[in-house]
């Protein structure tokens, strides 16, 4: 039985009305077979594009059957994931409502010839926020017409003519964007490029990022100037590759004079970037027949 994934354990005392309301919403997701988008913490895994179906909702938690991943190791037990889903309210008016929640994985079940199932703790809260602002995905390199990064030196700024990571490095595979969101990105560098640039980044250091897109979208910018700080560094000891997680902290807009006017990013989100990434995501799943 799916519900056997839960050990018999009394739930913690909490607001029963709120809990029942959350259970009703999750029951709707189960009944409507809503697609759940599962996001792992970058510190725990590089897994992206993982989806799920709600298999059961119980007092102890929620059981999801995962898609986009063949197996899940027990090391993920105790790790938290963030889940995004939508329900359709058909009473009074037909409208879509997006929710997300974060909960730890309690148990993992590997079934023969079936995707893995995970039991999550019952969410403490369901947040009714649009998932597009938190959406993280791996972009296709061809979606960019240009991309470059400069390591920012507090003393001397940066040399426009000498990017630390140039468009050509992405094109030849020396660099790769692993994922991007409206609040940051993660990129990986091959050992050869790390050595050539003498890179030894530290947490908190800054990079300047510039990119433009191949596809023009009405009302969305065609180019971005960003300041990002290093939040996470993951060296690969065997291959010598280096993966850096960056958080966008300042947003630049080129003025008629050619200068870039900078402004602080509010709430860790660039709204028009969120919109573009959401459109990429919708297009990706439509192409795969998963929308």
Domains 2-129 and 141-287 alike in fold: no
Predicted local confidence at residue 134, as pLDDT: 61
Element (H, E) at 237: none
Are 32 and 1 spatial neighbours (Cβ–Cβ below 8 Å)? no
| Separation of alpha carbons 250 and 150, rounded Å | 14
Question: Per residue in 264-273, is it b (16+ CB within 10 Å) or e — as a string?
Answer: ebeeebbeeb
Q: What is the pTM of this model?
A: 0.58
> pLDDT per position in the chain (291 positions), as tens?
555 555 545 455 547 788 888 999 999 999 999 889 898 887 788 788 888 999 999 988 999 999 888 889 999 999 999 998 888 766 545 556 778 899 999 999 998 888 999 999 999 888 765 545 567 788 889 999 999 999 988 776 678 889 999 999 999 999 999 999 888 999 999 999 999 999 999 999 999 999 999 888 888 888 999 999 999 999 998 999 999 999 999 999 888 887 888 899 877 788 888 878 877 876 765 554 444
| Separation of alpha carbons 151 and 267, rounded Å | 24
Predicted local confidence at residue 289, as pLDDT: 43
| Separation of alpha carbons 87 and 241, rounded Å | 41
Element (H, E) at 61: strand 61-67
Predicted local confidence at residue 277, as pLDDT: 82
Residue 150 has phi, psi (to 5 degrees) of -125, 135
Question: Over the stretch 266-288, which tens digit does the pLDDT of each residue have?
Answer: 777 888 888 788 778 767 655 54
Predicted local confidence at residue 275, as pLDDT: 79
Are 21 and 97 spatial neighbours (Cβ–Cβ below 8 Å)? no
Predicted local confidence at residue 282, as pLDDT: 66
* CATH number attached to the domain at 2-129: 2.30.110.10
| Separation of alpha carbons 60 and 67, rounded Å | 23
Angle at alpha carbon of residue 147, lines to 142 and 151, rounded to 5°: 150
How, if at all, do strands 175-180 and 242-254 pair?
A: unpaired
**Domain residue spans of the chain:** 2-129, 141-287
Sign of the torsion formed by the C-alpha atoms of 279, 283, 285 and 286: positive
Structure tokens at 260: 């870039």
Predicted local confidence at residue 290, as pLDDT: 40
Long-range CB contact pairs, 229-238, < 8 A, 24+: 229/204, 229/205, 230/201, 230/202, 230/203, 230/204, 230/205, 230/206, 231/184, 231/203, 232/42, 232/43, 232/186, 232/203, 233/201, 233/202, 233/203
CATH topology of domain 141-287: Thrombin, subunit H (2.40.10)
| Separation of alpha carbons 171 and 140, rounded Å | 11
Predicted local confidence at residue 132, as pLDDT: 54
| Separation of alpha carbons 198 and 129, rounded Å | 42
């Amino acid at each position: 039985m799916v519900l056997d994934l839960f050990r018999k354990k009394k739930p913690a005392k909490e607001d029963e009305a709120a809990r029942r309301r959350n259970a009703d919403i999750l029951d709707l997701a189960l009944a409507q077979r809503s697609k759940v988008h599962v996001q792992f913490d970058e510190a725990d895994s590089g897994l992206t594009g993982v989806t799920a179906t709600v298999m059961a909702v119980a007092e102890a938690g929620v059981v999801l059957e995962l898609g986009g991943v063949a197996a899940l190791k027990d090391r993920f037990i105790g790790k938290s994931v963030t889940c995004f889903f939508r329900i359709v309210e058909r009473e009074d008016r037909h409208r879509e409502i997006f929710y997300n929640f974060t909960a730890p994985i309690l148990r993992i079940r590997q079934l023969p010839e079936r995707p893995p199932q995970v039991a999550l703790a019952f969410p403490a809260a369901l947040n009714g926020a649009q998932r597009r602002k938190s959406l993280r995905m791996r972009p296709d390199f061809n979606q960019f017409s240009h991309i470059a990064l400069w390591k920012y030196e507090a003393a001397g700024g940066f040399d426009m003519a000498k990017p630390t990571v140039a468009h050509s490095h992405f094109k030849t595979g020396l660099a790769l964007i692993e994922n991007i969101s409206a609040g940051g990105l993660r990129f990986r560098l091959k050992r050869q490029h790390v050595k050539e640039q003498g890179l030894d980044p530290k947490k908190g250091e800054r990079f300047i990022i510039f990119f433009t897109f191949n596809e023009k979208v009405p009302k969305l910018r065609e180019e971005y100037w960003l300041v990002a700080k290093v939040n996470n560094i993951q060296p690969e000891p065997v291959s010598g590759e280096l993966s850096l997680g960056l958080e966008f902290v300042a947003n630049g807009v080129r003025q008629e004079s050619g200068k870039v006017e900078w402004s602080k990013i509010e709430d860790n989100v660039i709204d028009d970037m969120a919109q573009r990434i959401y459109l990429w995501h919708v297009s990706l799943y439509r192409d795969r027949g998963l929308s």
